[in-house]
Amino acid sequence: MQTNKIPVIAIDGPSASGKGTVAQLVARKLGFHYLDSGALYRLVALKTIQLHADTQNPGAAAEIAIHLNVFFKDEHIYLDDIIVTDAIRTEQCGIVASQLAAYPQVRAALTERQRAFRQLPGLVADGRDMGSVIFPDAVLKIYLTASAEVRAQRRHKQLIEKGMSANIADLLQDIQKRDERDSNRSIAPLQQGIDAKLLDTTSLTISQAQDAVLSWYNDVLAKTRV
Ligand code: CDP
């Protein structure tokens, strides 16, 4: 089957919106593959930190991205054969990831890696530019967001559950800074595409958000069957 016939659901949105959780649940429900594109940027950040490489040098970061030795298996992410599933979730990694993600060379180095996740029977991809750049022909594009305050609370809960320390006021500030950087960069900025459906989850539970995505996907299926 041609790769471009394999269905993709693209879920884009800002930091800590809960899109990762919703995307994983939808993927599980449909039996689809799942791409956490932010994890790739976080992996480049972790490797850059480990190597004490210069985060201001786009060329050096792109080299790291090209040679990234990463492997996804079940729930785990391996970098150079070491499990880094939790290590990439620190706020430091998120901040560096957002800096490196603004470099066109880094984004280009990760493009094919992301497209390689498009395999049968389908893919749910979450990130910032899934619908706009990586999978422009996605059958369903969603912009999943929530208020900055609710996102700070969600990130706080997530970090505490992982045994990491966190402070809501600092997280809110970090989220606002990250929103600004991700939305204002010149390449692949975070924004709701005109062809993307808005899913504001500020007052929705995870299960309600999941149901909304599945119901839109059912509409897509119904239309393609006609
Ligand atoms: O944890 P959070 O939801 O904030 O971010 P993430 O999805 O783990 O991604 C970390 C950073 O990578 C983001 O702040 C973005 O700057 C960047 N990113 C991107 O530029 N494009 C993507 N497709 C995914 C993430």
Which residue puts its alpha carbon closest to atom 7 of ligand 1?
38
**Whether 209 contacts 144, CB under 8 Å:** yes
Report whether pLDDT(186) > 80: yes
CATH number where 87 lies: 3.40.50.300
Peptide bond into 121 cis (omega under 30): yes
User: Does 178 sit in the ligand 1 pocket, CB within 6 Å?
Assistant: yes
- Would you say the C-alpha torsion 39, 208, 25, 191 has a positive or negative sign? negative
Report whether pLDDT(225) > 80: no
Phi, psi of 200 (to 5 degrees): -90, 115
Please give the distance, rounded to the nearest whole angstrom, from the Cα atom of residue 226 to the centre of ligand 1: 37
- The range of the structural domain enclosing residue 216 comes to 3-225
Please give the distance, rounded to the nearest whole angstrom, from the Cα atom of residue 14 to the centre of ligand 1: 8
Mutate to test the pocket of ligand 1, among 15, 145, 176 (most ligand atoms within 8 A of CB): 15
**pLDDT score, position 226:** 62
DSSP three-state, residue 205: coil
Distance CA 121, CA 119 (A): 6
Report whether pLDDT(165) > 90: no
Q: Work out how many domains the chain is built from and give that number.
A: 1
Q: What is the pLDDT of residues 63-111, one digit of tens each?
A: 999 999 999 988 899 999 999 999 999 889 998 999 999 999 999 999 9
Gyration radius from the chain CA atoms: 17
Report whether pLDDT(2) > 80: no
Distance CA 124, CA 178 (A): 24
187 vs 35, higher pLDDT: 35
Can you say whether residue 74 is alpha, beta or left, with left for phi > 0 and alpha for psi between -120 and 50 degrees? left
**pLDDT score, position 184:** 87
Distance CA 121, CA 27 (A): 10
